[in-house]
Amino acid sequence: MKRLFGILVLAVSALAQVQYATWDGTRQKVDERLLKAFTEATGIQVAYNLVPWGTYWQKASAMIAGGSTFDVMWMNLDNFPFYASQGVLSPIALSPEAKGRLPQGALKLYTVKDQVLGVPLGPQVVTVYINRKLFQERGVPIPKSSWTFEEMREAAKKLTFTRPDGKKVWGINAMDLQVDTEYGMAFYYSNGGTGLIKKVGDRYEANLDQVFYDTAKKLLDLIYVDKVSPGPQESTLQGYQLFQAGQMGIYVLGSWMTEVWKASPGLDWAFAPLPEMKKGLAPKGVYSVHALVVPSGSKNREAAYKLAEWYATSPQANRILAGAGLLPTLAEAYRSTYLQALPGRNAEVVFAQLPNMVVRHADVRNLSNLPEVLDALGSAMNLAWTGNLSLEKAIEKARADMNALLRNAKPLW
């Protein structure tokens, strides 16, 4: 009888365990701390599931289609419209206090017909990092509050050299800055860009205008003209690995990379401001608004709702994130904690840029085939970034491929 009772307890515990899924392995240690703290605060057990980006969406779609799914999942804005339109996300009944604390602009992006389908997480901000040791070694002024794109380009030139032992040091990671991607679009918006898709009457079309071309050329030239960034065949290491190894002076990616740099305690890194692209225009970077969603197939919905709300709005969760040097959902409220976690790293520029940040494609997020349109754009532009097509031809192909798809685009809600 005792053995049977033990089996029943185990079965109930397994059923009550909330399955949490994410693709972001850079913050695994912090996530595990958060989930442990949630369990201690609520008594609700949580299982951490890290699924590589390459298979995350396939697994999510398959599990939802099959009726078996994770209970709480990370979601991004590119994929959210599809899941929302299929009715496979459960509305989350946030407490009035939590709803009032969340950034309202971010919350609106995950609200459909007055139903909250996703609880926004901290802003994943496009950020510039520099290797101060390399800057000092090469006699390059360290930017603290502002610099121009030309100053950044000239710095990258000075930071590109070959050491006596034959190791190549590169100026910047331009291969990651394809103009239509999250990181490249920070330069596009800073250059006066207004959006890559525009509405014309009751239809949509590609908006790959002169600003798009000018921005793309500046970024692409870093690879093939200025030669301050490794091309597709010039390094076996990725940009972040080169930066970690002290073989890259400027690295542009997301604010979450602070977790990666912790693995290299000898790396003398700091934040730098986004560069001014055009005189008189303040840099206007990009941030990703990820969210926690609860699939309607969840077997533990009530516990899942509690986890999503706690993770985004509780003081404890926000303190843990900010204390780890990651931007929490309530970023401004925990500014001092964040800055204290990153002393001497010039982290003030991150907050200085937050008010001027934009969410890319925010005005067309509910288009029925937006992911396919963006895939077509990315595939065409990648031909230029890999040196397989001229920039002009790549943009021409992107425009044609996008417009062919946009002819069938309809708002989902």
Two tokens at 127?
């950020």
In a shared domain, residues 47 and 142 = no
Question: Do 74 and 200 fall into the same domain?
Answer: no
Q: Which of helix, strand or coil describes residue 37?
A: helix
Residues 270, 378, single domain; the answer is: yes
Question: 67, 38 in Cβ contact below 8 A?
Answer: no
Report if residue 340 sits inside a domain. Answer: no
CA dihedral angle for residue 79, residue 26, residue 295, residue 411, rounded to 10 degrees: -20
Q: Which residues have C-beta within 8 Å of that of residue 355, sequence separation ≥ 6?
A: none
Task: Pick out the chain residues at pLDDT < 70.
Answer: 1-15
Of the candidates 182, 219, 240, which has an alpha carbon nearest to the alpha carbon of residue 374? 182
Q: What is the CATH number of the domain that holds 65?
A: 3.40.190.10
Do strands 18-22 and 72-75 pair parallel, antiparallel, or not at all (unpaired)? parallel
Same-domain pairing of 276 and 378: yes
CA distance 341 to 131: 19
Could you tell me if residue 95 is inside a domain?
yes
pLDDT of res. 128: 98
Predicted pLDDT of residue 1: 39
DSSP codes, 300-338: -HHHHHHHHHHHHH-HHHHHHHHHTT---TTTGGGHHHH
369 shares a domain with 396: yes
Q: List the one residue out of 351, 257, 329, 263 whose CA is nearest residue 34.
A: 329
Query: 327 vs 123, 323, 337, 339, 350, CA distance in Å?
Result: 6, 9, 10, 10, 9
**Residues 181 and 61 occupy one common structural domain:** no
Determine how many CB atoms are found less than 10 A away from the CB of residue 296.
17
Residue 152 in any domain: the answer is yes
Domain boundary among 313, 329, 348: 313
Q: Please count the helices (runs of H) and the strands (runs of E) in the chain.
A: 18, 15
Kind and range of the H or E element at 28?
A: helix 28-42
pLDDT digits (tens, 9 = 90+) for 81-98: 989 998 999 999 899 999
**Which residue range forms the structural domain that includes residue 281?**
125-287+361-406
**Phi, psi values for residue 157, rounded to 5°:** -65, -45
All residues at 6 or more sequence positions from 212 whose CB lies less than 8 Å from its CB, including other chains: 179, 188, 193, 196, 395
Buried b (16+ CB within 10 A) or exposed e, 9-41: eeeeeeeebbbbbbbbebbeebbebbbebbeee
Residue 166, domain member (yes or no): yes
Domain assignment present for 176: yes
Tokens 């417009």 locate to: 403
- Exposure string of 218-257, with b = 16+ CB inside 10 Å and e = fewer, is bbbbbbeebbbbbeeeebeeebbebbbebbbbbbbbbbbb
- Residue 200 within any structural domain of the chain: yes
Do 150 and 263 have their domain in common? yes
Rg (C-alpha) for the chain, rounded Å, is 22
Total-model pTM = 0.92
Q: What is the pLDDT of residue 65?
A: 79
Which residues have a Cβ under 8 Å from the Cβ of 134 and sit 6 or more positions away?
140, 159, 169, 246, 249
Whether residues 154 and 91 share a domain: the answer is: no
Segment 255-304, tens digit of pLDDT: 999 999 999 999 999 999 999 999 999 999 898 899 999 999 999 999 99
24, 40: one domain: yes
Is 27 part of a structural domain of the chain? yes
How many distinct structural domains can be found in the chain? 2
Beta-carbon-side half-sphere exposure of residue 94 (alpha carbons within 13 Å):
26
Whether 131 and 162 map to the same domain: the answer is: yes
The pLDDT, as a whole number, for residue 246 is 96
In a domain, 339, yes or no: no
Take residue 220 and report the two structure tokens written for it. 């692409």
Q: Are residues 263 and 366 in the same domain?
A: yes
Gap between the Cα atoms of 269 and 256, Å rounded: 14
Q: Where are the beta strands (DSSP E) in 209-273?
A: 248-254, 269-272
Please tell me whether residues 185 and 242 are part of one structural domain.
Answer: yes
Beta strands in 76-160 (DSSP E): 111-112, 115-116, 119-120, 124-131
CA 149 to chain centre: 22
